[in-house]
Amino acid sequence: MSELSLPFYQNRHRGEKFLVYGLGTSLDQFPPEFYAAFPGIVIGVNEVIYPGLFYPDYLFNVNLFHDKDYNAFFDCEGNEIVYSYATPPDKVCLIGEPYLPMVGTGAVPAIAAAYFMGASEIYLIGIDFNLGANGRIYHSACPKIKATLVDPAKYKLTDKKEPEVQATLRCLSEMFLKYAEQGVRCFNLSQNSRLENIEVVKWPTLPS
């Protein structure tokens, strides 16, 4: 395994569609075959690699590859760890700069990386900030410990008053608007998401 810096990946997938998926329950909207057959580049967030189910091209796991000064992600195909400087929360949209923001969730730098690598369109799923059916936090393929029922008041990613959640949602909204200004549109495949400034679409009727 080797290490690279983020500038090496700038526009590496220019013009391709990207799918960024997290651990939310909306991941259950589609079968595993959907993710394997997505016509573009797939980025997973945190514990999303499961045998026989999800194999992203890139993996952002903030529990493994993050500290206050650096972000990093794993290139699953090239077997590389890719490092970048992390930006402060007030500079989350450095268009074209080799920095990845870290605000609240690994979904933020994952989406920023898709833009940096040249995405033409970015599709999101499993980035919900909502509880799913029966009070679930995570999709059904997660380890049992993460699929248990929770008290919504104690789960900060669904707490609208939680400062970190508010900051993360603001950050994502700003990113969606900034990217749209640069001609890169973001689309939300989740039907159970609190993300704003992003168009909700259904597969397979996606924009061409």
> According to the model, what pLDDT value does residue 140 have?
61
- The strand pairing partners of 138, in sequence order, are 24
**Average pLDDT value over all residues in the chain:** 75
For residues 124 and 187, give the distance between their C-alpha atoms in angstroms, rounded to a whole number: 6
- As to burial, measured by CB atoms within 10 angstroms (0-12 exposed, 13-18 middle, 19+ buried), residue 15 is exposed
DSSP state at residue 89 = G
Percentage of the chain lying above the pLDDT 90 cut: 24
- Residue 7 CB neighbour total at 10 angstroms: 11
Q: Quick one: angle between helices 107-116 and 163-181, nearest 10?
A: 10
Whether pLDDT at 84 is above 90: no
Least confident of 60-64, 73-77, 140-144, 193-197: 140-144
Residue 151 has pLDDT above 80, yes or no: no
Q: What is the pLDDT of residue 15?
A: 96
Label residue 29 exposed, middle or buried (CB < 10 Å: 0-12, 13-18, 19+). Answer: middle
Q: 2-45 pLDDT, tens per residue?
A: 556 777 888 999 999 999 988 888 888 888 778 888 899 999 88
Locate 200 and state its tokens. Answer: 């909700």
* For residue 144, pLDDT beyond 50: no
Report pLDDT digits (tens) over 175-202. Answer: 999 999 999 999 999 988 889 999 999 8
